[in-house]
Amino acid sequence: MASAAWGRIAPKLEATGRRVASLEWEPERRNSFVPYTAERDTAYVDLDGRRLLMMSGYSYLGLAGDERVVAAAQAAAARYGTGNHGVRALAGSIPLHEELEAEVATVAEREAAIVFGSGYAANVGTIGALVGPGDTVFVDKYAHASIVDGCRLSGATVVRFRHNDTDHLARRMEAAAPGGVRLVIVDSVYSMDGDIAPLPRLREVCDAHEALLMTDEAHALGVIGRTGLGVEEHFERRVRVDVKLGTLSKAIPSMGGWVAGSAELIGHLRYAARPFLFSAALAPASAGAALEALRVLRAEPERVTRIQGYGTRFRELVSAGGMRTGDSETAVVPLIAGSDESAYDLATTARRLGVIGLPVVTPAVPRDLARLRIAVTARHTDADVELAAEAFLKAAGECGLLAG
Ligand SMILES: Cc1ncc(COP(=O)(O)O)c(C=O)c1O
C-alpha cells in the first residue's frame, strides 16, 4: 500500500485480516470460502480427498444437481445463450422470464410476480419502491441484512422491534409518528435460527395500525407449509401477507429473487424497483433451472414432508444429548456454541469426525450466540441425520459444550 490515500484505508483492511486470523489461524480451522466439491445425488462433499457429510447446505429440497433441473438449465442456455446483455425493460427480456414469473405467481398463490437478479436485489428494490422519506418501516431485529439495507437506502424512518415480539411491535407502532406509509417486514423463517414468524398475530397488529405486511420467504418456500408453499400455508391460509418475496437460491437451486402480489403492485415494481430497472436480467440457464425446480416442488411435495421429519428428528437427538437449539421448528437447526471461538472449535472438531457444520459468528448473530447453522435436506437419509447428530454431540462433548 504505497500511496498516502491507501495508507488512510489500511487500518480497515488490516482489521479484516486480523479478524479472520483470530478464528482461522491454521488450515484445519478454515471454515470460510472452503471450495467443497459436491457429490451428485448425496449429501456428501469431497474436501482434500476426504468424504464429508454436509450438514450446512441451503439446497433444502435436494434439487441442486437434480438431472431434470440441470437439463432445463442446459436447454435454456442452448436456446437463449448464456446472457441477456441488458436490463429487462430494454433489451434483456426473453419468454423464459415470463414463464418463470407465471410459475412463481402460481407457487406464491398470487396474481402476478416479478423476478430480480438475486434475493438481495429483490429486497432492496422492493422496499425502495414502496417506502421513502416520510414513511416508516418496522423491521424484526433478526431480519436479513438485505431487508435492513433496503430500509436504510429507502430513506424511510426505520424502527426495529424485538425478534418475533408482536407486543413490542404494537408498542413501537403506537409510539411512531403518524402519517405516511407503514410497512412491517419480517422473515417467514429466520435463516440462522429456524424459527417461524407469528403471522396471524402480525396480521392483527398491522391491521390495527393500518400497516402493510411484507414477508421474506427465502427459507420458507419448499420448507414450511404442508406442501412447502411457505408461511401462509404453514398457518393454513388463515391470513395473507400484502407483499410476498423470496429467493431462487435456496430450496430452488438457482439464482434470483422474486416478489409476488397483485398485478398493480408488480406493474409498479417493474418500473420503480431500481435493481430491476438498472441491473441485467437473470441469465437464461438460471431462469430455466428455477422454473424446472419450482415445477418439481409442486409435483413432489413428499420432499417437503421428508425434510420436516428430518428437522424434528435431528432436533430431538441433539437436544436429548444436551445441545441448545434455540426456538428452531424447521429444517434449519442452530447448534448454539456460545463464543465465536467455541463455534469454530465445534466446527473444526466435527469436521475431523467427518461432518460439516459451518460456524456463524458475530456480527451475523448476537454476541455469545455463535453457532453451527445446520440444515437438513431431502438429499439426506435417516442414517445421515442420525450419524450427524451423533458426531455433533461427540464433538460438543470434546469441546466441553454439553450441559451437565
Ligand atoms: C432471508 C434472506 N433473504 C434474502 C437473502 C438474499 O438472497 P440471495 O442470496 O438470493 O441474494 C437471503 C440469503 O441468504 C436470506 O437468507
For 48-86, the pLDDT digits (tens) are 899 999 999 999 999 999 999 999 999 999 999 999 878
From 275, 299, 323, give the residue that closes a domain.
299
- Please give the distance, rounded to the nearest whole angstrom, from the Cα atom of residue 215 to the centre of ligand 1: 12
Tell me if 167 is assigned to some domain.
yes
282-340 pLDDT, tens digit each? 999 999 999 999 999 999 999 999 999 999 999 999 999 999 999 999 999 999 999 99
What's the CATH code of the domain at 78? 3.40.640.10
pLDDT at position 41 is 77
182 and 134 assigned to the same domain: yes
* Beta pairing class for 212-216 and 243-247: parallel
Contact predicate 366/190, CB 8 Å: no
One domain, residues 261 and 128: yes
Q: Work out the pLDDT band at 94, boundaries 50, 70, 90.
A: very high
Q: How far apart are CA 375 and CA 394, in angstroms?
A: 19
**93 and 71: one domain?**
yes
Domain boundary among 281, 299, 317: 299
What value does the mean pLDDT take over residues 4-30? Answer: 92
Contact 47, 53 (CB under 8 A): no
Grouping H, G, I as helix, E, B as strand and the rest as coil, residue 304 is: helix
Does 20 have pLDDT greater than 90? yes
Distance 353 CA to ligand 1 centre (A): 30
Claim to verify: residue 100 and residue 212 sit in the same structural domain: yes
Ligand 1 pocket mutation pick from 59, 191, 252 by most atoms within 8 angstroms of CB: 191
261, 354: one domain: no
H or E segment and range at residue 264: helix 263-272
Active site residues: 191, 219, 250
Same domain, 173 and 276: yes
Q: Specify the DSSP class assigned to residue 195.
A: -
Q: Are residues 158 and 95 in the same domain?
A: yes
Residue 400 Cα to ligand 1 midpoint, Å, equals 33
Residues 163 and 45 in one domain: no
Give pLDDT, residue 40.
Answer: 77
Report the number of distinct structural domains present in the chain: 2
| In the block, residue with C-alpha cell 423476478 | 115
Give the residue from 111, 110, 121 showing the smallest Cα distance to 87: 121
Q: What is the C-alpha to C-alpha distance for residues 229 and 237, in angstroms, rounded to an integer?
A: 10
The answer to whether residues 289 and 334 belong to one domain is no
Judge if 341 and 363 occupy the same domain: yes
* Three-state SS at 5: helix
Residues with CB under 6 A from ligand 1: 118-120, 123, 144, 146, 187, 191, 216, 218-219, 247, 249, 257
**Alpha-carbon distance 125 to 130, whole Å?**
9
Q: Whose CA is nearest to atom 10 of ligand 1?
A: 119
pLDDT at 39 over 90: no
Q: Is the dihedral of CA 192, 196, 201, 206 positive or negative?
A: positive
Mean pLDDT score across all residues of the chain: 96
pLDDT of residue 6: 92
Q: Output DSSP code: residue 27.
A: G
pLDDT in tens, 98-126: 999 999 999 999 999 999 999 999 999 99
Question: Is 27 inside any structural domain?
Answer: yes
Question: Is 99 found in the same domain as 227?
Answer: yes
Q: Tell whether 95 is covered by a domain.
A: yes
Q: Would strands 112-116 and 182-187 be described as parallel, antiparallel, or unpaired? A: unpaired
Q: Is residue 9 part of a domain?
A: no
Task: Report how far residue 144's alpha carbon sits from residue 123's, in angstroms, rounded to the nearest whole number.
Answer: 9
Closest ligand 1 atom, residue 189 Cα = 1
Q: Would you state the pLDDT for residue 38? A: 83
Strands 182-187 and 212-216: parallel
Residue 94 CA to ligand 1 centre (angstroms) = 25
Name the pLDDT band for 42 (thresholds 50, 70, 90). Answer: confident
Task: Determine the residue of 120, 151, 163 to mutate for testing ligand 1's pocket, defined as the one with the most ligand atoms within 8 A of the Cβ atom.
Answer: 120
Q: Which residues contact 302 (CB under 8 A, 6 or more apart)?
A: none
Look up cell 429467493; give the residue. Answer: 247
Atom of ligand 1 nearest to the CA of 248: 10
Strand partners, 46: 37, 51
The minimum-distance atom of ligand 1 relative to the CA of 121 is: 11
Domain boundary among 257, 281, 299: 299
Task: Say whether pLDDT at 261 is over 80.
Answer: yes
Task: Say if 37 falls within a structural domain.
Answer: yes
What's the rounded Cα separation, in Å, for the pair 166 and 304? 28
Listed in sequence order, the residues at least 6 apart from 283 whose beta carbon sits closer than 8 Å to its beta carbon are 82, 83, 84, 255
In a domain, 10, yes or no: no
Please check the confidence at residue 404 and state whether its pLDDT lies above 70: no
Q: How far is the CA of 146 from the centre of ligand 1 (A)?
A: 7
For residue 218, how far is its CA from the centre of ligand 1 (angstroms)?
6
Give me the domain span that covers residue 120.
Answer: 67-299
Q: Within a domain: residue 86?
A: yes
Residue 35 belongs to domain with CATH number:
3.90.1150.10
Picking from 77-91, 165-179, 274-288, which range would have the lowest pLDDT averaged per residue? 77-91
Q: Which of 146, 196, 259, 373 to mutate to test the pocket of ligand 1 (most atoms within 8 A of CB)?
A: 146
Pairing of strands 370-375, 136-140: unpaired
Q: Is residue 276 part of a domain?
A: yes
Same domain, 345 and 390: yes
Q: Whose CA is nearest to atom 8 of ligand 1?
A: 119
Position 1 pLDDT exceeds 70: no
Answer yes or no: is pLDDT of 35 > 90.
no
**Average of per-residue pLDDT across 17-30:** 92
